[in-house]
Structure 1
Amino acid sequence: MVQYNFKKITVVPPGKDFIDIILSRTQRQTPTVVHKGYAINRIRQFYMRKVRYTQQNFYEKLSTIIDEFPRLDDIHPFYGDLLHVLYNKDHYKLALGQINTARNIIVCNKTDLQPLDGLSEDDMKLVMEMKSEAMKTIPQGGDPSEEGVLLTMSALTDEGVMAVKNAACERLLEQRVEIKMKSKKINDCLNRFHVAMPKPRDNRDRPTCIPQAVLEAQAIAAAKEKKKLERDLENENGGAGVYSASLKKHYLLADDEWKEDILPEILDGHNVADFLDPDILERCEELEREEGLRLE
Structure 2
Amino acid sequence: MSTSGLKAISPVPTAADFLDIVLSKTQRKTPTVIHKNFKISRIRNFYMRKVKFTQDSFDEKLSAILEEFPMLDDIHPFLSSLMNVLYDKNHYKLALGQLRTARHLIDQVAKDYVRLLKFGDSLYRCKQLKRAALGRMATIMRRQKDPLAYLEQVRQHISRLPNIDPTARTLLICGYPNVGKSSFINKVTRADVDVQPYAFTTKSLFVGHLDYRYMRWQVIDTPGILDHPLEDMNTIEMQSITALAHLKSCVLYFMDLSEQCGYSIEAQCKLYHSIKPLFANKPTMLVINKIDVTRLDDLSPENRALVEEIINSEGAMHVQVSCYTDEGVMELKNKACDALLEHRVDQKLKGNKINSILNRLHVAQPKARDDLVREPFIPEAIKERKKFDMNDPDRPRLEKDIEAEEGGPGVYNINLRKNYMLANPEWKMDVIPEIMDGKNVADFIDPDILEKLEALEREEEKLQAEGFYDSEEDMFDSDDEREAVEAKVSRQHKLVSQSGKKAMKNQAKLPRTVGLRTITELTSELTKAGLDPSRIQERAERLAKIAGAKRKRQREEEEAEMDVDEDKAAEDEDEWMDVDGEERPTPSKRAKANSGAVITKGKLPRTDRRLGGMRDEAQASKAIKLRDLSHRSRNMQAKAGESDRAIKTKMPKHLFAGKRKMGKTNRR
In the superposition, the TM-score normalised over structure 1's length comes to 0.36
Q: Which has the higher contact order (CA 8 A, sep 6+)?
A: 1
Structure whose CA Rg is larger: 2
